Amino acid sequence: MNYHRLIVLTGFMGSGKSALGSKVASRTGAAFRDLDDEIEKLEGKKIRDIFREDGEDYFRQLERTCLNQLLSVKPLVLALGGGAFAQPEIRSRITAHDGVTVFLDVPVQTLFERLKRNTNRPLLLDDDGQMPDDDRLMKRIRELLAQREPVYRKADITVTVKPGWTHEQTTEEILKHLSEYERTARSQHQ
């Protein structure tokens, strides 16, 4: 499948955007970029350190700056950070560049399992930078997801990831949805 435009993966942290984005890119002949990785390269430090040293507002500005730099790469599969899609400016820039957005809708229990040992997610950590106990972590995931999910649902495509799916199965589902989306878009323009 050759895909000539911008494909943007969004969803909660731990939903697999980076791993799946790389697979989708290789299957579509597109370049792949991870917005968080690009920010870390630009700043020369980890996301958690940017949050701790410079604050979330500064990080959100970096997301907008890096996105603008990446939009010249075509075709491109782009994995956004978990909070990037919540920014109206980011959504409008993607739309202006004819981007197709894909929300990876992953069950909360799966997210919890993937995130419970990951100390690189500053919004989930306690004030002292430590991982909270399981109950508090699940509560934080649910609260943050409740805030972000309505925005994620604004994506062009929603891929509901089933528990236990491999990256290959999820990649196939993403490609199937992209194909259907393109077919529908073409039929509407005829």
Residue set of the binding site: 14-19, 36, 60, 82, 121, 148
Query: Which residues, including other chains, have CB under 8 Å from residue 55's CB and lie 6 or more apart?
Result: none
Ramachandran angles phi, psi of 130, nearest 5°: -95, 155
Summarize the annotated binding site for ATP as residue ranges.
14-19, 121
Summarize the annotated binding site for substrate as residue ranges.
36, 60, 82, 148
Beginning with the edge strand found earlier in the chain, give each strand of the sheet holding 100-105 in spatial order.
31-34, 76-79, 6-10, 100-105, 157-160
> What's the CA gap between 79 and 22, in Å, rounded?
9
CA 166 from chain center: how many Å? 18
Summarize the annotated binding site for Mg(2+) as residue ranges.
18
39 in Cβ contact with 133 (< 8 Å): no
